[in-house]
Structure 1
Amino acid sequence: ICTVLIHDLVNDPDMVAMIAASAALTISGAPFMGPIAGCRVGFTEGEYVLNPEIEDMHDLRNKPEQRLDLVVAGTKDAVMMVESEAYELSEAEMLGAVKFAHEQIQPVIDLIIDLAEDAAKEPFDFQPADYSELYAAVKAAGEEKMRAAFAITDKQDRVAAVSAAREHVRGQLNDAQLEDENLGSAFKKLESAVLRGDVVKNGKRIDGRRTDEVRGIVAETGLLPRTHGSALFTRGETQGLVVTTLGTGDDEQMIDALHGTYRSNFLLHYNFPPYSVGEVGRFGPPGRREIGHGKLAWRALQAVLPAATDFPYTIRLVSEITESNGSSSMASVCGGSLSMMDAGVPLTSPVA
């Protein structure tokens, strides 16, 4: 648990929390492939800035001199996570920022290692479960049927075939194997091996596409005549209905953040109902998916919004995912771009 005890309103505590969590895990003795460290990178006047101040990162859209808010986490040897808000940087500039961040976290990782050498507890005597015999039995009983199931391009038919293949395997196992708590892991391992193996070997993905082939795309605008703007974006079996509503300054969102209260004139709601993936589930408050995917789409779209002085309206987007088979957040980005253009929002450029 990372708790902010004090805040100087200058340095964002999220990077401190990440590093503290890494240090705590490293000295705890728990199985951990770390340590890891993280940092934030800005980009001003062609120069990368390490851990810029909160004020520098706030409201980037209205700060043309500041074009990047990038968070990178990694180990000594590799980058583990990247999250960013960028304003039309080139590929070379983005790659340079990631490399810059990885270089800058090295001293922090070294410090955590030094701390562990002085204060770390004895490592837990942990050995992962050995289910090699169970996996061999599952593979022998079901590899052929599982491979045939994953060769089906239609998602619903494929899901049914995979389920049938699993039932066939269960019918070939003895009681002890059926009661083994690692049976689910053995199934997952087989499915992963079959799927990844076929992609690497044959160069075709699960839906029959080549590795360089895009799913079929259909885009429509102006579907809902009573709204300010609307778009239906479909990519393969993923579809989002995105609606734009324009309001006045009174409709701006008030955000009470740790470093102060401010207002935002761009709101994006991402809704992922259970029926979009063929499931029966309850509707409740926004979950991890809705918040995280919505933030991804928000960051992509707000970078091309016009300045408030040029377009003094509050913009609210609602993305309703009607079906999903991957990349629904990106469908929200594409549909959101189309929907706002349908509403007459003068974007600086389309986003996909």
Structure 2
Amino acid sequence: MATILIVDDTPENLAVLSGVLSPQHRVRAVNSGRRALQVANSQPPPDLILLDVMMPEMDGYSVLAELHANPATADIPVIFVTALESSDDEERGLTLGAVDYITKPIRPAIVVARVRTQLELKAARDLLQDRNRGLEAEVARRMAENLRIQDVSIHALARLAEVRDPETGNHLRRTQAYVLTLAQQLSTHPRFAAFLTPPNIEVLVKSAPLHDIGKVGIPDSILLKPGKLTADEWEIMKTHCRLGYLAIEQAEHDADRPVAFLAMAKEITHHHHERWDGSGYPDGLAGDAIPISARLMALADVFDALIAQRSYKKPFPVEDALRIIRDGQGSHFDPDVVDAFFARVDEFLRIAAAYVDPESAPASTLTH
């Protein structure tokens, strides 16, 4: 049985309406607008309200306005029941959000029919809302699952390069965290704010682990060589940027729709070895021609390479690494990116300590 709230300041009207509706519905009757609002906010709320218009202190129009202003009661349908008979009165009531308008003296058959119609409509709306909520929950669940799969896939791809070059250790975790730190620091900077929006930062951080994916195409004799590379070997090593770019570009072509993180991963992979002064590779880009994503990755990658141990070198002391980064300001790195690094240098060192490689310097030495 539906619950119907009847609101009228005249006891005789409450008695008549209750008598008409109580055989088929649960009826609650109140004699003021304030009391009607209290009952509407109680549990369980009424399924339908029959509301008198002309009442002392608070008329029906005011009651309806407050019902609609409260999210808890805004969806309860209201039928105005009134002695006002002009079309202007009816139009005003419907404009304010009433679902129907019954004039006094009431005719029981009309009241029963209109109440039944509105209850059926409400039941249909409630069913539709329930189904929509279920669909929204399912869509959210599937999107979350797809994002998890995407993240796992990205890291699986990135691990291909790490498997080929096992000495990188926690390099992916560190550089991803470094890039996030730089992006957050620069997100309000006039030169970067338009690009470093929260959605772009999320995509940037997600893409960062793919920066060295092209190393899977470098021969073991070069990639795993313990000593210094020859000039010819170094030229081959530098092709990992192009190889990674081409691999991701092919993935883009294979996708049936654009994928944001692939576009940014392609930028990072291709250009993270470019230098601010144009002396980098593979394309010799300079200044703002270098994508912002690659500029952030460049500093993160170099800093990590400096403080990490490799088969061909020991980790640099932190002081030396910081000096090299500072010396590269305006030549190797975007000057503003270097400033962002030093503004958050303590956080960089905390990240380095949290993901230190077992063979590298102990975390306690990663301070300055």
TM range (shorter): under 0.3
| Bigger proportion of residues as strand | 1
Bigger share in helix? 2
Larger radius of gyration between Structure 1 and Structure 2: 2
